[in-house]
A and B are shown apart, each in its own frame.
Chain A
Amino acid sequence: MSGLDWFEEVNHDYPLLGIQLHIRLGDLHDPPDKSGLLNTTADMMLRGAGTLDRAAFSERVEALGGHLEIALTRESLVIDGEVLTRLSDEWFDLLELALFSPVFDAAELQRYVQQSASALSDLADSDEALGSIAYHRALLAPDPKSRCVKGTLSSLEQLTIDDLKACHETLIQRDRLLLGVCGNVTEGVRSRLRKLLEAMPQGRFIDSAPVDISKVDAFDIWLVDKPARTQCQLFLGTLAPVIGDMAYPGLTIGTTAFGGMFTSRFSQEIREKRGWSYAAWAAYTARADIGWWTLRCFPSTEHALRTLDVASTMVDQLVELGLTEAEHAFAVDTLVASFSFQVQTHKRRMEDTLLLRLLRRPHDAMSKWQETLRSTTLTTANACLRSLAWPKATCVMVGDADHLQSRLQGWSRSVSVRCTTPEKVLADIWE
């Protein structure tokens, strides 16, 4: 893809067209006093464009039966769409309006801010969502992209129409673009794609540099207080290699063996043997500039500390002793076999291809993935597990802080236990 090109996964089984357009962020991120700017700009692009106000625009999109959505990820602003091919011309008209002629109306921005305030407030009611925000912020603290993309109530209120227009101008540039189409791709569709790309100003893209995460150096616990909760949402994790690192395949195998399946060590100990948590799993998230490794479960308040203790000891053992030969072979078999699902649909193949390019991986990384896994030995995988920053770790527990704190008193591993409130988490206040 050269900037005037796109990736195709053609399939004519159904008269449905899928499009995914990534606007790469590179080194762009929200300024500290304007957190939520990128997300607001993205959302406002669909809240009125050309001569259509928000209501008319959404009426037109939804009348086509498909969807046109914008979401912000760590690396890109993703425009995702699906439409019946016979209606794609009208859909492209709307996409072009959103990209090139958003209205950025002041009254609509005010409405957006009010609605976002409600959405942020609703987040406080979901312990899981709240815990996820707190965990990523606490673990990846020095990284500006670890802030909640939705911003905070006070930062949103500071945003002006000029901020949005400037942000939009920076974003809509051809050099930032990664484009894929899938499904019932016709010549008419290709012609519209060419037109769309030609209309984009050239721009200049600067990629992001690796994140300095050296400040993360202790076993810290944050308690997010939810009085009277019977359960604790537990997040425990540490920093890990980025996706381009040699350790990526080995760590993927290690994570799968440790907590990626029902039969994995972690699930067996916490769920199957003890019945402490309905779900217990490990996840390795590796991006181009940062990586982290997480354990998740939700024990009752009563079992929270024991769960944390067992989990921490298990990670100690994993890092020190590694996987067994049988675990390694099992995880490799699982990952190799499950690859069939990764390439099952044309949409999934398109999305994965775009993601690889977004993360600066070689174009054949996907087709060679099974081979890479097969060639990663037990010794290599175990060496990769030692690349985790453990025992430097961050733990976030959302639950009844009174009960949790009394149980954590005197726990040998913790360097500090700090309490906070949902309101402070959502206001991005960490003190």
Chain B
Amino acid sequence: MVRAFKAYGEHITLETIHPLGTSLVAQARLKNGLKVILHPLPHKRVFAWHTWVAAGSRHEFLGKTGLAHLFEHLMYRGTSKYPEGEYDRLLDRRGAQANAATWLDWTHYHASLPSSKDNIELIASLEGDRLQHLRTDNDVLQTERDVVLNERQYRVDDDPDGALGERLWSLALPNHPYGSPTIGWQEDIASISASDCNAFRSRWYTPDRVTICVVGGFDLEHTLDTLVEEYTSFSGESSEPSADFGSFTAGDDVLDVAVSAPRLLVAYPSPPATADGLLALEVALDILFGGDSGRIVKELVFRSAVASLVEGFLAPLQLPGLFEISVSGREDKDPQLLLDTLNQGISDFLQDGPTDTEIMKSLRHLEVDLYRGQMTVDGLAYRLGHDAVVFGEPLRFQSLPNKVQAITKYDVLEAAKRAFNHIPAVVKAEAQR
């Protein structure tokens, strides 16, 4: 592997090589700053080509919420080399599985194809070309804006849970880039212009913010050659977004949405992904909300039977954000009762702490997830790329079992105490039927 990189030393700098399974993972950087993660698995009949751009909805301009997501849609609308529809036509015909997602910190374009040199060349050319030469005129923008407005109806306006989630984040993080919905406020989406899109691309779609992760059946030297060919001319440099943002804010609200059973959404502040203690907090939340045997689930769903569903959700984010708890109540229960019962469950946990069995259960969950996530080239490419962008450490998952093994009951309890030592933000909806 080292020898292969040496041949391209003029263009690509090999930074690290680590073993993973029966192969190696190489991290390298092009001269323009673009990061590359390569994990060849020669026996695989398919490969995944993932492009991560460290630009999500938190990088949007004031009053232009939804821009990052709309821009992701526009990335499929063509360039002069590959006019509209060509990207999908070329990939569909080769049996590719391709899509994209935008979230708070990043945008993720992913494609998986049957293994062949032709397919490597094609995907590199398509992805490299649209990163550099996207066409964003007003006609194209108008159709795609309608599609996005329709998507917003689907995900938020006509979906009570989507509407509640949107309200929770804006309530808890009012002067914070995570407080605006990634899909955007309707009036903002309607006002986005082609020049906004071009400005967004110039500012954030720069090589230093892009990570390409290739996993599966591919020839290393040929892929390096192709990367150099398609991405060397990619230029530009971004600057860090403003670090001036508001903090978590407690509050409560009742939302008037048509739900057949009461809903409760509760948010507490979360530390950034790279903070100490995040892993211990993940273990604590797994103990509280994981499966039917999670402490809070047992209490709310089975013992007191006030709820039909309880979930905890903590996503690793680059900035301090929030983690949320959602409760679907039984039809005849008051949302306040759901909140009181939830608070009692949390309070009991903070008093008793976790048991050895609960810690072990959590460790095993993590171990199974770890293996499961590596079984497809797509799953593995997602993991390497995501962890590179969010944690700055693509192989973070490899060290997780040892890190979790080292976590003590005291660590978990302390992490939970820190997390729940706040007045939360709360959004409720009462049953309307």
Contact A337–B154 (Cβ < 8 Å): no
Q: A261-B88, A278-B154, A340-B45 are in contact. Are A124 and B260 (CB under 8 A)?
A: yes
- Restricting to A73-98, which residues have a CB under 8 Å from any CB of B? 82-84, 87
In the complex, the chain A residue whose C-beta lies closest to that of B290 is A62
Contact of B328 among A118, A268, A343 (CB under 8 A): A118
Q: A63-B357, A82-B368, A231-B154 are in contact. Are A58 and B291 (CB under 8 A)?
A: yes
Contact of A334 among B22, B93, B145 (CB under 8 A): B93
B334 within 8 A of A: no
Contact A62–B357 (Cβ < 8 Å): no
Contact A261–B374 (Cβ < 8 Å): no
Contact A228–B364 (Cβ < 8 Å): no
B21 within 8 A of A: yes
Task: Determine, out of A13-21, A188-196, A201-209, A243-251, the stretch whose residues face the partner at the interface.
Answer: A13-21
Contact B93–A114 (Cβ < 8 Å): no
- A271 CA to B147 CA in the complex, in Å? 7
- A343 CA to B309 CA in the complex, in Å? 35
* A residues less than 8 Å from B258 (CB atoms): 125, 226-228
- A347 CA to B363 CA in the complex, in Å? 23
Query: How many residue-residue contacts, CB under 8 A, span A and B?
Result: 171
Contact of A272 among B143, B145, B309, B331 (CB under 8 A): B143
Contact A65–B92 (Cβ < 8 Å): no
Fill in one digit per residue for B258-287: 1 if any A CB lies within 8 Å of its CB, else 0. Answer: 111100000000000000000000000000
Fill in one digit per residue for A243-278: 1 if any B CB lies within 8 Å of its CB, else 0. Answer: 000000000000000000111000010011111111
Contact of B157 among A231, A268, A338, A344 (CB under 8 A): A231
- A82 CA to B115 CA in the complex, in Å? 29
* B residues less than 8 Å from A274 (CB atoms): 143, 146
B375 within 8 A of A: yes
- A338 CA to B45 CA in the complex, in Å? 11
Fill in one digit per residue for B108-119: 1 if any A CB lies within 8 Å of its CB, else 0. Answer: 000010110000
Shortest Cβ gap from A122 to chain B (Å)? 6
Task: Determine, out of B233-241, B297-305, B316-324, B383-391, the stretch whose residues face the partner at the interface.
Answer: B297-305
Tally chain B residues at the interface, Cβ within 8 Å: 67
Contact A63–B160 (Cβ < 8 Å): no
* A residues less than 8 Å from B22 (CB atoms): 13
Contact A230–B259 (Cβ < 8 Å): no
Shortest Cβ gap from A352 to chain B (Å)? 15
Contact A344–B376 (Cβ < 8 Å): yes
A64 within 8 A of B: yes
Shortest Cβ gap from B73 to chain A (Å)? 10
Contact B158–A127 (Cβ < 8 Å): yes
Contact of A231 among B21, B153, B308 (CB under 8 A): B153
- Candidate in A16, A87, A273 with the most chain B CB atoms within 10 angstroms: A16
In the complex, the chain B residue whose C-beta lies closest to that of A277 is B150
Shortest Cβ gap from A383 to chain B (Å)? 24
Shortest Cβ gap from A298 to chain B (Å)? 6
Contact B368–A298 (Cβ < 8 Å): no
Contact A330–B92 (Cβ < 8 Å): yes
Contact A122–B143 (Cβ < 8 Å): no
Contact of B150 among A117, A275, A336 (CB under 8 A): A275
B137 within 8 A of A: no
B229 within 8 A of A: no
* B residues less than 8 Å from A122 (CB atoms): 260-261, 308-309, 328
Contact A298–B260 (Cβ < 8 Å): no
B330 within 8 A of A: yes
Q: A330-B92, A340-B114 are in contact. Are A119 and B308 (CB under 8 A)?
A: yes
Q: Which residues of B approach A to under 8 Å, CB–CB?
A: 21-22, 44-46, 76, 85, 88-89, 92-97, 112, 114-115, 142-148, 150-151, 153-154, 157-161, 258-261, 290-293, 298, 301-302, 305, 308-309, 328, 330-331, 357, 360-361, 363-368, 371-372, 374-377, 433
- Listed from nearest, the 9 A-B pairs whose CB atoms lie closest are A65-B364, A337-B95, A275-B146, A338-B95, A118-B308, A278-B151, A14-B371, A58-B292, A262-B88
Q: Which residues of A approach B to under 8 Å, CB–CB?
A: 13-16, 54-55, 58-59, 62-66, 82-84, 87, 111, 114-115, 117-119, 121-122, 124-127, 226-231, 261-263, 268, 271-278, 298-300, 330, 333-341, 343-345, 347, 422-423
